[in-house]
Amino acid sequence: MEQERQLRSRTTPIPGLLLFELPVHGDDRGWFKENWHRAKMAAAGLPDFGPVQNNISFNAIRGTVRGIHAEPWDKFVSLASGRIFGAWVDLRRGPTFGTSFTAELTPGEAVFVPRGVGNAFQTLEDDTAYTYLVNDHWTAESQKDYTFLNLADEDVAVPWPIPLEQAIVSAQDKKHPRLGDVVPMIGRRTLVLGADGQLGTALRKAFEGDPTVEFAGRADFDITAGDSYKAVNWHAYSTIINAAAFTAVDAAETQEGRAAAWSINAVAVSRVARAAVEHSLTLVHISSDYVFDGTAEVHLEDEVPAPLGVYGQSKAAGDLAAATVPKHYIIRTSWVVGEGPNFVRTMASLAGKGVSPSVVDDQWGRLSFASDIASGIRHLLLSKAPYGTYNLSNSGKPQSWHRIAREVYRLLGADPHLVRAVNTSDYAKPGTAPRPRSSVLDLSGIRATGFDPPEANQRLAEYLKGLEP
């Protein structure tokens, strides 16, 4: 047995399957090893997968074989005594389905097996015991999510040191299907909350055809109700996208609206954040330019919030809650345009009727088309971009609401001069919420991840064409 070995990991042909070399300290009495050390393992590359249960499997006779089982949780396996031959096969849906890897393990090695990777062990010595940590509890219900592969599958062709006909194999393991008949295990799922709004609708299109993404409108999941959280098996998920929000900016200034804004935009977000922390999920949370007072010409991601009105205050509080989640993306956007009521649709309707509206010309920003916000979110998740806050609007020269309204009229063939310019102070009525003067967001952060938002006027022209009968 090696002494004074250094803890280190190495990758394998199966994505996420990691092989570890463990320091084992021995003398005349026997040996000792740190089988699990969260900080050291994390530094060596092991995901902080949050184990909740520790199991031991004892095998009395050399040649005992267990597997190939792909389980709906992650596991970290290490030997307490003896020696085994391990075989792992990727049974997850994707391009590496069927990829295999084998290795011999002693107490000086360990392996991290991701959810959906089939694992099997053949004991090479009598009295072999191995221990494993898992990050979910076994239940009769969870067994329905298992995926299996026959130990003797000809396509994978595991090179068992002891031929299977000479080994001890359970009757059940002999019945498992060949690779061609295996139903691949889908990955952990993403849950989109607020899926019936402008952004939720765009997210449905962005993730169309992806069986791992689920969508929940308020009727399916009320983020303000505690029972909604209790009804979900969070271990089946890896990500929450919170697109739910109270967005009636002026209504938030009323007594009833103030309570609703804080309930949905702040208190409920803290509940979502708690679920994400407790189950080690990635949280994608949608923020707003209204968390700023608009005194800065361009808003950076690290600018200190200074909201002017109740809506902005409630959104800023929600951002603080979301930021407590270790794996979070806070997406700050502005002037959202998608399916449903919005400024561009309103101006298009007025243009078609020949109406001459008054529109403020002293508030500046960029439109954010919901389809591009959804694409940006998908990009961040798929590229595994660094966690944190990202500004995400469309690009191009900042414009006033007045200038955008005129562009809508022009593109629809109406006279843009029908749109009259007014100051915010002239336009505001009693009960109107204060707005930031500048809503321009710096986009260098999202661009650094490889996503370059399309130009706003280009998207505006395309959007208006989609509105034409």
CATH code of the domain in which 107 resides: 2.60.120.10
Judge whether 383 lies within some domain. Answer: yes
Beta strands in 34-127 (DSSP E): 53-59, 65-70, 75-81, 84-90, 100-105, 109-113, 117-123
Q: Which two tokens stand for residue 287?
A: 């923020």
Given 124, 153, 181, the domain boundary residue is 181
- Please tell me which residue in 37, 69, 229, 379 is annotated as part of the active site: 69
Same domain for 304 and 427? yes
Give pLDDT, residue 1.
42
Same domain for 260 and 351? yes
Give pLDDT, residue 3.
45
Neighbouring C-beta atoms of residue 26, cutoff 10 Å: 15
Q: Which two tokens stand for residue 44?
A: 């060596």
Give pLDDT, residue 28.
76
Same domain for 292 and 441? yes
Same domain for 420 and 340? yes
Nearest partner of 41 among 60, 58, 19, judged by Cα:
19
Same domain for 439 and 325? yes
Task: Give CA angle at 247 (245, 253), nearest 5°.
Answer: 120
Total number of residues shown for the chain: 469
Element (DSSP H or E) covering residue 133: strand 128-134
Judge whether 370 lies within some domain. Answer: yes
Same domain for 148 and 205? no
What CA–CA distance (Å, rounded) separates 277 from 241? 14
Q: How many domains are contained in the chain?
A: 2
- Please tell me which residue in 25, 37, 130, 132 is annotated as part of the active site: 132
What CA–CA distance (Å, rounded) separates 121 from 86? 5
Given 181, 205, 222, the domain boundary residue is 181
Crossing angle between the packed helical segments 401-411 and 343-353, to the nearest 10 degrees: 50
Same domain for 449 and 374? yes
Identify the domain containing residue 422 by its residue range.
189-467
Asked if 69 is an active-site residue, the reply is yes
Give pLDDT, residue 135.
87
At 413 the three-state DSSP class reads: coil
Residue with tokens 């808003």: 299
State the amino acid at position 456 in one-letter form: A
Nearest partner of 203 among 377, 344, 343, judged by Cα:
377
Judge whether 3 lies within some domain. Answer: no
User: Using an 8 Å Cβ cutoff, are 24 and 33 in contact?
Assistant: yes
Same domain for 162 and 210? no
User: Using an 8 Å Cβ cutoff, are 185 and 93 in contact?
Assistant: yes
Judge whether 113 lies within some domain. Answer: yes
Asked if 132 is an active-site residue, the reply is yes
Given 165, 181, 197, the domain boundary residue is 181
Give pLDDT, residue 142.
63
Judge whether 154 lies within some domain. Answer: yes
Same domain for 348 and 206? yes
If you ran DSSP here, which 8-state letter would residue 73 be given? Answer: S
pLDDT in tens, the chain (469 residues): 444 578 999 999 999 999 999 988 887 777 888 888 889 989 999 988 888 889 999 999 999 999 899 999 999 999 999 999 999 999 999 899 999 999 999 999 999 999 999 999 999 999 999 999 998 887 766 667 789 999 999 999 999 999 999 999 999 999 999 999 999 998 889 999 999 999 999 999 999 999 899 999 999 999 999 999 999 988 889 999 999 999 999 999 999 999 999 999 999 999 999 999 998 899 999 999 999 999 999 999 999 999 999 999 999 999 999 999 999 999 999 999 999 889 999 999 999 999 999 999 999 999 999 999 999 999 999 999 999 999 999 999 999 999 999 999 999 999 999 999 999 988 777 778 999 999 999 999 999 999 999 999 999 999 999 886 5
Judge whether 129 lies within some domain. Answer: yes
